[in-house]
Amino acid sequence: MHIAMVTDYYLPTLGGVQTAIKAAKERLKQLGHQTTVYCPLHEPLQDPDVVGLPTSSVFKPDGFPFTWSPQAAIDALTTRLAKDRVDVVHVHSEMFAALAGIKAAHALDIPLVQTMHGRVDVYTAKVLPVPQLTTILLAGLHKRHLPHVAIPTDLSAPYMHTAVARRMWRLMINQANAADEVIVPSAHFAQKLVRQGVTAPVAVLSNGLEDSVLQYVGEPHVRKHTAGEPLQVMWCGRVSPEKRPDAFVRAVAAAGESVHASMYGDGLAMGKVRALISRLGVGHRVHLRGSVPQHEVLDAMADHHVFVSSSYDFDNQPMVILEALATGLPIVVSDPDLTEGLPTGGFLVADSPSPQDLGAVLARLAGSDSKVSEMSAAVCADDRPLAHGDHGAELLAVYERVTR
């Protein structure tokens, strides 16, 4: 089978979507299937299985290449997919590369699968300039090529209280309904999509890690920490408002001198985060490591006591949390939704999304002689699969259903 993975985000940029696609591509190749990725690129890659789409030379939201124009991408992708004799189109995002994938699949009568990786309503509200206006333009361009006939069905939901949210949920719902089947990595996001009007078949299929990552990590090890020893806390992700890096810095500040942190990643909020660290006077214990290769992230995980996600009401199933679990790291989250699939006893949830409550969790861990070790032991003892190889058969089952 030849699968076309169409996405607005791919390597060498870093993020959970990119990592998830890389893992799926690697596993499908092991199973004997051809996978080609079609995406916008700042410059061509050496990988012959990655094909560039028309890309803006001016607009680079959050540093990512941006597919432009929509019609040019549709025309280019339709021509290329016909030439490449693709069996399934699998779309992984909601912007114009994804839109081109949908239009090309429909034009060529190729079965279409859509993975909904995350909350584009939150992302656009936090990242786009003047989102009250720019999302009107974005949704309008999207609607020109894919009619937004369905509207959100439950406007009472707490995440539906702004015009930007309703506008982007309408985009997500109609894009999902254009697919023959929708994949969602978590049940909590799948429930929201169905609640708001997605009528296409929905499969909850967890993300998985590449075999190469698990081979690099090796056996997880139990972390040891005693009261009085600095608690080494790790944060990793886009340094961007939707990830709430500022809340993490404030939480570490509130937790006290016994909590030290390293932040891995880069993004448009880096300047504000650096200024906040200086203003709070925590530069001696909050260290910005920047964007580093994946193997350096994995190495760093081995040297920390706990991994923290400060994201709230945004993430679906962060790949970086799966990586942390693979090394034996306990997890602390602000968002209760992110506990789905985490090992019992291996995580803690802050009482609220506030930095003070997140900091209180870190302070309790720093003051305990045994809690970190107990949580890490629970993570190491968990036998649920993390490798994408364990999910490859389920992914192929989706492809087989839509190609019947």
User: Each residue of 206-262: pLDDT tens digit?
Assistant: 888 888 899 999 999 999 999 989 999 999 999 999 999 999 999 999 999 999 999
pLDDT tens track for 170-216 = 999 999 999 999 999 999 999 999 999 999 999 999 888 888 899 99
Rounded to whole angstroms, the Cα distance separating 340 from 315 reads 12
Q: How confident is the model at residue 390 (pLDDT cuts 50, 70, 90)?
A: low
Least confident among 14-28, 107-121, 264-278, 325-339: 14-28
Mean pLDDT, rounded, of the chain: 95
The pLDDT, as a whole number, for residue 292 is 93
The pLDDT, as a whole number, for residue 12 is 83
pLDDT tens track for 58-106 = 988 777 899 999 999 999 999 999 999 999 999 999 999 999 999 999 9
**Domains delineated in the chain:** 2-208+387-403 (3.40.50.2000), 212-381 (3.40.50.2000)
The pTM of this model reads: 0.92
Residue 388 has pLDDT above 70, yes or no: no
Percent of the chain with pLDDT over 70: 99
